[in-house]
Structure 1
């Protein structure tokens, strides 16, 4: 059995990782095929895909559809991911505001209700 060639650059994940780690209780981790990832409470939030071409980000199905419709040049959905609550972002996305928004939605889907409430309250007061 031939092992597939893994060709990715860790630096392609830096922007995503650095934003994701600003949310409470996130941690850097290693995921599939040794790729860098960020987890929340031990659950995968986002990672660099082993193809090196995109970043799967965990996102509820309704939000996923919204972003796929509104930003088809940034997000896509390979067949393998259709049954799972993930959206895939091309690594060349450098829209920091959009990325932060999507990662915040991802984090909120994985954090506890208490963590989300505390985060929203703090965000409102620090504005």
Structure 2
């Protein structure tokens, strides 16, 4: 995926907006941090739910997922955008959206509810 494709995928989420975090560009959902693209390596820093899940992703597919010492204490995976499966990323972003979106926004967008 390209940076523009990632931006389009994220900006299609309800409430998505461009912002900054610690002086760096990021995306937020109605003001709440969603993810950021690291300029150092064109990787998304995305909370994947748990350190255990992050470690599993890195172990299973190190060409896509990696970690730096800075992110080691957190449930964030670094995702190489040029190698990530777009469908996986879309589903992961939707999952993260459900965790950060305020209840009012989730209620206004029932199409974003988890399937099945």
Shared topology, TM-score over 0.5?
Answer: yes
Number of aligned positions between the proteins: 112
TM (norm. structure 1) is 0.68
Question: What's the TM-score once normalised by structure 2's chain length?
Answer: 0.73
Highest Rg: 1 or 2?
Answer: 1
Alpha-carbon shift at residue 122 of structure 1 (Å): 2.5
Residue 5 of structure 1: aligned partner: none
Question: Do residues 57 (structure 1) and 49 (structure 2) align?
Answer: no
Deviation at 1:97, TM superposition (A): 0.6
Higher normalized helix content (fraction of residues): 1
Aligned residue among 82, 90, 93 for 2:80: 90
Identify the match of residue 11 of structure 2 among 8, 21, 38: 21
Gaps of 5+ in 1: 1-10
In structure 2, the CA distance between the partners of 1:63 and 1:43, relative to structure 1 (3 Å rule), is: farther
Gaps of 5+ in 2: none
